[in-house]
Amino acid sequence: MERMKRLLVVLMAVVALCASAQPERPKLIVGLVVDQMRWDYLYNYEWGEGGFKTLLQDGYRCNNTIIDYVPTVTAIGHSSIYTGTTPAFHGIAGNNFMLNGKNVTSVQDDTERGVGGNDKTRGKSPRNLITTTIADQLQLATGFKSRTVGIALKDRAAILPAGHHPIGAYWFDKDCSSFVTSTYYMDKLPKWVSDFNKKHRAELSLELNYVPMGTIMTFAMAEQALINENLGMGEATDMLAISVSNTDMCSHYYGTHSPKVDSIYMQLDKEIAHFIEVLDQRIGRGNYLLFLSADHGGTHNYHRMKSHGLPSGCWNSPDALIAANELLEKRFGVKDLIKAEMEYTFYLNHEVIDAAHLDYDEVMRAACQALETPEEIQWAIDVAHIDSYPIPSILKERIKLGYFPGRSGEIYIVPRTGVYAGKTEWAGSNHGTWSQSDSHIPLIFMGWHITPGETNRLTHMTDIAATVCAMLHIQTPNGCIGTSVFE
């Protein structure tokens, strides 16, 4: 009997020791990504009470967070934030890229079907993302008890941050004026999503890409996900990934600091203030960890810069493709030797080159020369031989980190600083280059175990996932190359 008592005491001690070894974690992680938000927007606007002011006052600000790859576009940015790595490892080479010789979107999945939409609603999934995310690592660390939901107007902005095994990802389908999902996640919309679509039919019928209502609907959906999925109420840490997409789409059309864009940011400030109140009341300020960042920045419109005597320029990539193919045809007598252009990259047409029995390296050299002809272009680079180019090492590194063989274009275009892909007659802004305008992004952490403060030391987009995982004492995503912001 005495021996049994001693054994029981030992067992209780072991249980207590194991319990004490379990790391403390917040109830909820909230990731908030604002599409095409320049870092300086944090300080350019006069914010109201409770929104960005609260983040700036109560959060920890990283004022020198840089994107370490090119091209700086939406799908890559969202993937890199949540995986802690770059296209070279996570495989999302752009918003669109080549996959098995076919032009696909970053989340295209023809093996799945759309759910909650109409005949035009296509199946989507995160399968093109080949590394794990913060949410996936939470699943692994908690025995798959953690739950994640992704919300955005853009499909890629909802799908890629939510990882491979969320309980749901929902995005706006303008063809049916509804938030939808895919059979990758479920066969039928949850009742709360269907009810949301019915309740807000009038608002969802608006052109959400260019008006503040797009922001309102995004946060309203996020709040319903928080409540109806009981996020932050379980035994394991949950995650809610929110992306604000209309800030980007409106900027593309109207330009940075246009009245239309300013109105969306003013509404965003109000929505953040309300959402923080909801989190404080439902979860508790000390029980959730929130981070705010952006998938990329944005270059000011050509006319805005030129009107003030500042250097700028536009480069029309579709016209560049046509012009380069015409030069190549004159030299080789073969049409369409360049197959496609996507986001500052060009793909050679291997089928045509092989059929005409041309020397690939010779065509490549000629193509780079042709694409480098416009004065707006500083370099056209054969990525396979990038080390032979006399370009700054920092630029070489960013091109390498942004290149995934078989998906990325073989030729990368580097415009002159300040030049972006577009037309001079456009009123909008753009992004995608290595420049500070496009690669310098905001980063703020607030809430659980965060002491207010700031740093001006160099930090990286890939540090976001590393920081969150370090704070939670979980393994970083399997392709992560970032390091924690905090000691």
List residues with catalytic annotation. Answer: 74
CA 168, CA 180: separation in Å to the nearest integer? 10
Q: Judge contact between 29 and 450, C-beta under 8 A.
A: no
Beta bridge mates, 152: 171
CA 92, CA 77: separation in Å to the nearest integer? 9
Q: Which amino acid does the sequence have at 187?
A: D
| 399 conformational bin, left if phi > 0, alpha if psi -120 to 50, beta if neither | alpha
Q: For residue 75, which phi and psi values (nearest 5 degrees)?
A: -60, -40
With CA atoms as reference, report the closest residue to 182 among 116, 126, 121, 115. 115
Q: Give the position of tokens 């979860």.
A: 283
332 burial class (0-12, 13-18, 19+ CB within 10 angstroms)?
Answer: middle
Q: Which two tokens stand for residue 191?
A: 């009742």
CA distances from residue 134 to 21, 233, 475 in whole angstroms, order as listed: 22, 19, 9
The order of strands in the sheet holding 345-348 is 338-342, 345-348, 411-415, 377-382
Q: Which amino acid does the sequence have at 33?
A: V
